[in-house]
Amino acid sequence: MTIFRDRNGRPILPLGLQTHNSSTGVPEMLEREIAAVKHYGGNLLEAPVYWYRIEKEPGCYDYADADDLIRRCRMHGLHLILLWFGVNKNGHPNYAPEWVKTHPEIYAVAQGRDGGRVASMSPLCDATLEADSRAFAAFMAHLRQVDGEERTVIAVQVENEIGLANTDMDYRVEAQEIYRQPVPEKLRNIVLEDSGVTPWGDTWRSRFGRHAHEAFMAWAHAEFVEKMALAGKAEYDLPLMINVMLGEQGFEEAGLCYNSGAAVGRVLDIYKAAAPHIDLICPDMYVPDRLRYRRVCGRYARPDNPLFIPESPIGGVANALNMMEAFADYGCIGMACFGAGRAVDMQGNLLDESREMALSMRTVANLAPLILKYRGTGRIHALVQQEFMDKQYLRLDGYHVEAKFISATGSARWGMGSFLNPAAPENADIFTARGRALLIQTDAHEFYLAGCGVKVDFRRRPDPMAEDSFPLLASRQCGTLNFLSVEEGHFEGEEWVCDRVRNGDESNFELFSHRGQAVRIRLNPN
């Protein structure tokens, strides 16, 4: 499923950074954050627009912030995803206008079990929905007017990490009356994991058991954003998305471990049933451990919901490794890191703590045309140096592929690396970085490699009908030495451009990639 396209309708792979929450409208911050995107090899900026600045008084709109963001991204050749910070920001109404915040008798605040107000506005309030969706629709109409031709803005996020903070549901009398009504028919066939019941009847408790309150709030929030989406798309039919505070954390109880009603993995089916006009439900992936990272990816990468990661750490080794598997194993259609301003110093120079993630994002960007073409085909492979690993093996139809990680095996026998000084600062990342790469097979005997700290060896697998295959397996003719060409290069559109031909010492042993560069490998089929 292709979600993101450029102005000419061509698929794109958005990769980049998200600004800090308060950067919009501050030129010096935005320029530094745009510079950070370039360091990451990115083509995307994500940035918020604020309801309270757009509509300071009811019905009076000011779009200067959005217009400025669009202009800056056009000038720097970047795509833009705008984040509508409306009634809900991480479960809080920080960005609602004062005329909303100061009238809780009209724009209802959710109530906790103890009867006190919580720090969230209720999604079960018609006045709030009407005000937010009216402003959002006006904003989308303005985007169509100023950007409908250029298509700098490729998507809009509706709200931010929606859900109720510090309660499992809204206990207002009005909300409880709705809760006592029958479960909507569109949800009757949905079964929640670990509900503790076999669904029966038409009450929330009989159908969703121990997660009844969470299911109710998920439906309420999904209905809210669905109506927002319908209002927005009626003005400008752009892809719309929501981002999610993950439920896969702690002991996974709503209102305690995450906002209740958020589109967490447990209730995704409720969101898909209730909010079909939200094109993407996207996990914010602040997840270092591999097992949980893969669990989250597996939940959100669905036939009806391709995986897009709108927020992830700006630095760190864990994300730099995990993202390779997101693109290779889960068909990830794009990614951004949060907090662009933390990636660079005041002069716009990349900070050391950002280098690992920047290198991984440049690696993915260098193979973007092939990722777009081959995702979901099983031809994209992640080579990732998990802890204690010195090598990784892939069994492909025609080849044994052995990846060796330079930080574990040293510089011996890897061509050009034999002539580099491991102590030189400019080479430190080559010899010490945790190895990771993408290997994409584009033909029976053609591969593209990009990554860091990886060297790869290919060995032909015997024909299944060959009786005497051992001599071939044991010969040099079977291995990487038997190639047609090895090229370093880059893509211009979908066309491969060779920048340098490798031969001799730079190709006769394992084939390497150490600074994210793309390498085209054409092996000899004979």
Whether 342 is in a domain gets the answer yes
Domain end call among 331, 366, 401: 366
Whether 9 is in a domain gets the answer no
User: Does residue 152 share a domain with residue 23?
Assistant: yes
Return the CATH number at 492: 2.60.220.20
- For residue 153, the tally of other CB atoms under 10 A from its CB is 23
Q: 248 by DSSP, 3-state: which?
A: coil
Of 113-122, 276-285, 466-475, give the lowest mean pLDDT range: 466-475
Taking 80 as the threshold, does the pLDDT of residue 168 lie above it? yes
Question: Region 353-366: what's the mean pLDDT?
Answer: 96
Taking 90 as the threshold, does the pLDDT of residue 363 lie above it? yes
Domain end call among 366, 401, 433: 366
- For residue 347, the tally of other CB atoms under 10 A from its CB is 7
User: Does residue 457 share a domain with residue 319?
Assistant: no
User: Does residue 500 share a domain with residue 409?
Assistant: yes
User: Does residue 77 share a domain with residue 188?
Assistant: yes
Q: How many domains does the chain have?
A: 2
Taking 90 as the threshold, does the pLDDT of residue 270 lie above it? yes
Q: How high is the pLDDT of residue 172?
A: 98
- Where does the pLDDT of residue 309 fall: very low under 50, low under 70, confident under 90, or very high at 90 and above? very high
Question: Region 66-89: what's the mean pLDDT?
Answer: 98
User: Does residue 497 share a domain with residue 349?
Assistant: no
User: Does residue 151 share a domain with residue 218?
Assistant: yes
User: Does residue 404 share a domain with residue 263?
Assistant: no
CA 294 to CA 309: how far, in whole Å?
A: 13
- Where does the pLDDT of residue 464 fall: very low under 50, low under 70, confident under 90, or very high at 90 and above? confident
E strand or H helix at 223: helix 212-235
CA 115 to CA 273: how far, in whole Å?
A: 31
User: Does residue 330 share a domain with residue 200?
Assistant: yes
CA 409 to CA 385: how far, in whole Å?
A: 12
Q: How high is the pLDDT of residue 271?
A: 98
Q: Is 377 exposed, middle or buried (0-12, 13-18, 19+ CB in 10 A)?
A: exposed
Task: List residues bridging with 403 in a β-sheet.
Answer: 392, 456
Which of 350, 342, 310 has the alpha carbon at shortest distance from 326?
A: 310
Question: Region 337-348: what's the mean pLDDT?
Answer: 95
Taking 90 as the threshold, does the pLDDT of residue 428 lie above it? no
Of 282-291, 322-331, 448-457, give the lowest mean pLDDT range: 448-457
User: Does residue 492 share a domain with residue 359?
Assistant: no
- Where does the pLDDT of residue 416 fall: very low under 50, low under 70, confident under 90, or very high at 90 and above? very low
Taking 50 as the threshold, does the pLDDT of residue 120 lie above it? yes
Give the residue numbers spanning the domain of 405: 383-523
Taking 90 as the threshold, does the pLDDT of residue 489 lie above it? yes
Question: Region 231-247: what's the mean pLDDT?
Answer: 98
Q: How high is the pLDDT of residue 413?
A: 44
Whether 10 is in a domain gets the answer no
Q: Per-residue b/e over 39-51, b at no fewer than 16 CB within 10 Å?
A: bbbbbbbbbbbbb
Whether 1 is in a domain gets the answer no
Whether 3 is in a domain gets the answer no
Q: What is the pTM (predicted TM-score) of this model?
A: 0.95
User: Does residue 127 share a domain with residue 267?
Assistant: yes
Question: Region 186-197: what's the mean pLDDT?
Answer: 95
Whether 371 is in a domain gets the answer no
- Where does the pLDDT of residue 419 fall: very low under 50, low under 70, confident under 90, or very high at 90 and above? very low
User: Does residue 232 share a domain with residue 125?
Assistant: yes
Whether 5 is in a domain gets the answer no
Which of 172, 165, 174, 164 has the alpha carbon at shortest distance from 113?
A: 172
Question: Mean pLDDT for the chain?
Answer: 93
Q: What is the pLDDT of residues 30-45, one digit of tens each?
A: 999 999 999 999 999 9
User: Does residue 181 share a domain with residue 273?
Assistant: yes
Return the CATH number at 303: 3.20.20.80
- Where does the pLDDT of residue 414 fall: very low under 50, low under 70, confident under 90, or very high at 90 and above? very low
Whether 440 is in a domain gets the answer yes
